[in-house]
Structure 1
Amino acid sequence: MTKAGFSKDRLSRLHHAMAGYVERGEMPGVVALVWRNGETHVDAVGKLAFEAHEPMRRDTLFRIASMTKPIIAAAAMILVEECVLRLDEPVDRFLPELANRRVLKQIDGPLEDTVPAKRGITLRDLLTFRLGIGAVMAPPDSFPIQTAMKEAGFAPGPNPPAHVPDDWMKNLSSLPLVHHPGETWMYHIGSDILGVLIARASGMTLGRFLKERIFDPLGMKDTGFSVSIEQAKRLATSYMLNPGTGELVVHDSPLDSRWSNPAFESGGGGLVSTVDDYLAFCLMMLGKGSYGSTRILSRPSVELMTSDQLTQEQKGKARIFFADHSSWGFGMGVNIRRDQLWSTPGRFGWDGGVGTSGYSDPAENMVGILMTQRMMQSPEPPRVFVDFWTSAYQAIDE
Structure 2
Amino acid sequence: MMPQQAGPELLLSRRTILAGFGASLAAMPFFPAWGQTQARAAPWQGVGRMVSDYVTSGRLAGAVAAMGFAQDEAEILARGARTLGKPGAVGADSLFRIYSMTKPITGMAAMILIDEGKLGLDQPVAEILPKFARMKVQRLPDGPIDDLVPAARPITIRHLLTHTAGLGYSIIQKGPLKAAYVKAGLVPGEISRLPIAQVFGAGPTAPSLTAFADRLAEMPLVYQPGTKWSYSTSLDLMGRVIEVVSGKSFDRFLRERLFDPLGMTSTFFRVPASEAGRLTTNYGIMQGLLIPLDPATASVFLDEPPFPFGGSGLISSPRDYDRFLRMLLGFGKLDGKRVMSEAAVRLGTSNLLPPGVGTAGTLANGGGFGAGGRSGLGEEEGTFGWGGAAGTIAFADLKRGWRGGLYTQYMPVEAYPLQRDFPKVAMNDAILMIGVERP
Matched, 1:356 2:389: no
1:145 pairs with 2:177? yes
Report the Cα distance in structure 1 between the residues aligned to 2:281 and 2:170, rounded to whole angstroms: 29
Q: Does 1:332 align with 2:332?
A: no
> Secondary structure of the residue that 2:118 maps to in structure 1?
coil
CA distance in 1, matches of 2:205, 2:187: 12
Alignment partners' CA distance in 1, 2:57 and 2:401: 33
- 1:248 alignment partner, SS class: strand
Give the corresponding residue for 2:323: 280
Does the 8 A contact of 1:307 with 1:334 survive in 2?
Answer: yes
- Alpha-carbon distance, 1:375 to partner: 2.5
CA deviation vs aligned residue, 1:335-372 (integer Å, no higher than 9, x gap)? 2244xxxxx32211111111111100123210101100
Kept in 2, the 8 Å contact 1:128–1:309? The answer is yes
SS in 1 for 2:300: coil
For 2:98, which of 64, 71, 76 is the aligned residue?
A: 64
CA-to-aligned-CA distance 1:204-235 (integer Å, 9 cap, x gap): 22111111111111111111211011211001
Q: Secondary structure at the match of 1:395?
A: helix
* Contact 2:51 2:78 survives alignment (8 Å): no
Determine if the alignment matches structure 1 residue 73 to structure 2 residue 107: yes
Determine if contact 2:59/2:289 at 8 Å carries over to the other structure: no
Among 263, 266, 279, the residue aligned to 1:219: 263
Structure 2 residue 229 is the aligned partner of structure 1 residue 185:
yes
CA distance in 2, matches of 1:218, 1:236: 23
Preserved contact between residue 142 and residue 222 of structure 2 (Cα < 8 Å): no
Tell whether the 8 Å contact from 2:63 to 2:406 is kept in structure 1 after alignment: yes
Equivalent position SS for 1:319:
coil
**After superposition, where does 1:1-398 map in structure 2 within 5 Å?**
3-8=37-42, 11-37=44-70, 38=72, 40-135=74-169, 141=174, 143-154=175-186, 159=191, 162-163=205-206, 164-242=208-286, 245-260=287-302, 261-310=304-353, 314-316=357-359, 318-324=360-366, 326-338=367-379, 344-378=380-414, 382-396=416-430, 397-398=433-434
Q: How has the CA–CA distance of structure 1 residues 62 and 129 changed in structure 2, closer, same or farther, with 3 Å as cutoff?
A: same
Label 1:382 to 1:289 Cα distance change in 2 as closer, same or farther (>3 A): farther
Shift of 1:61: 0.8
Query: 1:156–1:114: structure 2 CA closer, same or farther, 3 Å change rule?
Result: same
Determine if contact 2:226/2:357 at 8 Å carries over to the other structure. Answer: no
Q: State the 1:118 CA deviation.
A: 1.8
Q: Residue 382 of structure 1: CA displacement?
A: 4.1
Maintained 8 Å contact 1:158/1:353: no
Deviation at 1:158, TM superposition (A): 5.8
Q: 1:136 Cα shift?
A: 7.7
Is the 8 Å Cα contact of residues 96 and 407 (structure 2) preserved in structure 1?
Answer: yes
The aligned residue for residue 341 of structure 1 is: none
1:275-326 deviations in whole A, cap 9, x for unaligned?
111111111111111222322222222221112233686324x5131334x2
SS of the equivalent of 2:86 reads coil
* 3-state SS of 1:314 partner: coil
- Cα deviations by residue, 1:217-273 (Å, 9 ceiling, x for unpaired): 11111112110112110011111224xx55432222222222221112010011111
1:39 to partner: Cα distance: 5.9
Alpha-carbon separation, structure 2, partners of 1:103 and 1:276: 42
Q: Aligned in 2, Cα 1:137/1:207: closer, same or farther, shift over 3 Å?
A: closer
User: Does the Cα contact within 8 Å between 1:207 and 1:265 map onto a contact in 2?
Assistant: yes
Give the direction of change, closer, same or farther, for the CA distance of 1:105–1:32 in structure 2 (3 Å limit): same
- The aligned residue for residue 437 of structure 2 is none
Moved more, 145-154 or 189-198: 145-154
Q: Which amino acid aligns with 1:103?
A: V
Q: Give the C-alpha shift of residue 79 in structure 1.
A: 1.4
Distance in 2 of aligned mates of 1:241 and 1:152: 30
Identity %: 35
CA distance in 2, matches of 1:162, 1:241: 26
How far, CA to CA, are the matches of 2:113 and 2:293 in structure 1? 35
Name the SS for the 2:292 alignment partner: strand
Comparing 45-54 and 386-395, the one that deviates more? 386-395
Q: Could you tell me how far apart the structure 2 residues matched to 1:376 and 1:200 are? A: 35
Note closer, same or farther for the CA distance 1:53–1:95 as it changes in structure 2 (3 Å cut): same
Where do 5+ consecutive residues of structure 2 fail to align?
A: 1-34, 192-201, 435-439
Give 3-state SS (helix, strand or coil) of 2:340's partner: coil
What TM-score do the two structures reach when normalised by structure 2?
Answer: 0.81
Q: Which has the higher contact order (CA 8 A, sep 6+)?
A: 2
Distance 1:2-1:321 versus aligned 2 partners, 3 A rule: closer
1:154-202 per-position Cα deviation (integer Å, ceiling 9, x unaligned): 4576649832212222321231111121111111311000011112222
Deviation, 1:123, is: 1.1
Paired residue for 2:6? none
Corresponding letter in the other structure for 2:95: L
